[in-house]
Structure formats: C-alpha cells, structure tokens
A = this chain, B = another copy of it.
Amino acid sequence: MSQSFTVEWDWVTKFVKDVFMAYGIPEEDADICTDVLLASDRKGIESHGVNRFKPIYLDRIKAGIQHPETNFEVVRETPTTAVVDGHDGMGQVIGYKAMQMAIDKAKEFGMGMVAVRNSTHYGIAGYYTDMAAKAGCIGMTGTNARPSIAPTFGVENILGTNPLTLGFPTDEDFPFSLDCATSISQRGKIEYYARIGQDTPAGMVIGRDGKAMTDSPEILEALVNGQAALAPLGGIGEELAGYKGYGYATFVEVLSAALQQGNFLHMLSGIGENGEKQKFHLGHFFIAIDTEAFVGLDSFKKTAGDILRALRNSEVAPGEERIYTAGEKEHLVWLERKDTGLPLNEGVQQEMIAIRDELGWSDYKLPFE
C-alpha cells in the first residue's frame, strides 16, 4: 500500500456519503457535502477534495466547532437579496442553498445576491459559480478565511486567502471557472515544494523582516507561528502591483463580513483566548446574474466561447505547449478521470481505513486493503 490506488467514483461517492451520514449529517445534506467534496477531486484540485475529508470536515464536527445538521435561517430578504445565518452548520450545505437562492432570484428578477453569516469551510468556491453557470447565470462568490495574507507594505498575516471566484456559461462542454485565492498561492503549494525538496519562488511569502522567504520547510513553520505571511497576488511591495491582489483580498473580506455583521480578519483564526479550537463563524457571498436578462443565453454563450477560443488560438510562447482558459485544465482532468476513477494517495487511504475502524464498520471492506 505504498502508492496511489485508484477507486471507482461510485465507491468513493458511497463511502464519503456513508461516513458523512454516520457523523450525523442528514441524507439530503450528505449528498450535497459529498458532491462538493468530490467536485474538487473531479477537477484535480487535490487540496480541497478527499485530502480534506477527515482534517477539515470530520475532525471539526468531532471537535464541536461545526454542526452536522444545518439550520439555514433566512434573517432578511428582499426580491433580489438575502442575509442568511448558517448557525455553524455544514458550509457546503449553506453554500449550495445560498447560491441556489441567488440563482432563483436572478431567474425571477435578473440578479440575486445572498450574504451568509456563521458558516464553515464551504469547499471549492468554483462549485457555486459552476451552479450559476449551469443555470445560465454569471456567478461570483467569495469567502473570508483564517488570516494568512499580509497587506502591501505589511508583514502581518491578517487577511484570509479570500477567493474572488468568477464563472459563466459558454457554448463549450464546460463553463469558465476562475476559482482562485487572492494570494499568489496557498500553504498547500509550499507543502508541495517542501515535499519535493524545492525552494519556494521568491515573492510568494514574506517574513517579519519584510523580505521574501524561500526555504520551504522554514516557511511552513513560520506560517504556523505567525512569523511569515502569504503575499497577495502581484507579490511583495508595489513594484509588480501587489496592491491589486491586496485590494481584491480586502474587497472579499469586506463583502464577506459587512453585509451580514459578521466576523473578520483575526476574529477568524479558529483559536480561542486560551488556545482552544473555536467556531470560525465564516462569512460568504454569492451573486448570480441571469444572462437571459441581457441579450439572451445563447448569444452570451456564443460570444463568451468565441473569446475563449480566440485566446487559446493566439500565439503560444516558444517552449510552451498551449494556452488554456480558466476551468479548462480542470475539465481535462475530469475527461481523464471520469472512466478510470479517483487516485487516492497513501495518506488518504490510511485516513479512510482509520475512519472506518473508528466507526466500527468491521464488515465495510475498502478496495485498497
């Protein structure tokens, strides 16, 4: 069992759902949580898929900092807008219902926006803009998160990696999906550099001395004790326009909190005064804009597709293979994986065995045992 094992989609879907239900998540909600989690694996975004099943979701339910049952309470509503309290339930369920609400409003009134308070980690942001795109809408979403990014000219990890995630439908087989943090990168990428014994590219991480840190293992330690922070998209300082990424991160921080009187910045550390784990009380926002309310869905899709194709067909840099558009690489991963299944690394296999054992499911055989 020293290597990757590929499981069938049906199997992993059933296993994840069974476990979520065993943790107290109602069946309908477990379907949503499973779909959001595995959407990440379908796209090849390993950082947000089954790798996170145990540490981010199961362990947090067990620690009591998020609830398996989700009380989705609409605290204020207008024809196009709503404020929702998620009562620290499952972020994926809250996100799914909130984006569906924004889409329903957009379908009726042209636009819809939902702001959420007291939520938890909602998985890949792109899941929600994909929902909008499938419904013929432009989708936008953002969320605040644990403090990680330093402002331009600052060194303190204070802003979340705050994704500003955008999507829309096209006339191709997959929607445009720009699902990205407003930092250059995330902890997971630095863990990857450490694993392969490489330095982290200069500019991605800033130390307390204001200089770029590049020693990957050193960075991982420094990120934990607050001695390092992630740089915003555009890098350290102003030279390559780091203030733009900082500005986008700020916009997401404000939209995630100020529309719902929620927590922000250091309040989102997940650590209490005495070092104990505490609820995150995350905030998100979801926007849907119906393309039908403008010149129609087909026209929108055609122009969008024409633009994306023209970009891909523009002149490629010497030495590079081709040009992609946002969401395309993830679609190509899915085309490869849909028939072969999901490769699980050894760590995930072991976690799944441990989860099964802890649940006392002695009859439940895992395919990689």
Contacts and interface: CB of A to CB of B under 8 A. Distances in A.
Interface of A: 76, 78-81, 83, 109-113, 115, 138, 150-156, 158-159, 166, 168, 176, 178, 180, 184-185, 201, 203-204, 206, 208-210, 233-235, 239-241, 243-248, 250-251, 253-255, 257-262, 264-266, 289-291, 293-295, 299-301, 303-304, 306-308, 310-312, 314-326
B111 A304 contact: no
A230 to B, nearest CB: 11
In the A-B complex, the 7 residue pairs with the closest CB atoms = A210-B317, A178-B247, A258-B303, A80-B110, A259-B294, A153-B320, A156-B314
A301 B158 CA distance: 20
B153 A299 contact: no
B316 A250 contact: no
B168 A254 contact: yes
A67 to B, nearest CB: 23
B294 A239 contact: no
Contacts of A324: 152-153, 243
A257 B323 contact: no
B243 A233 contact: no
B317 A201 contact: no
Nearest to A312: B151
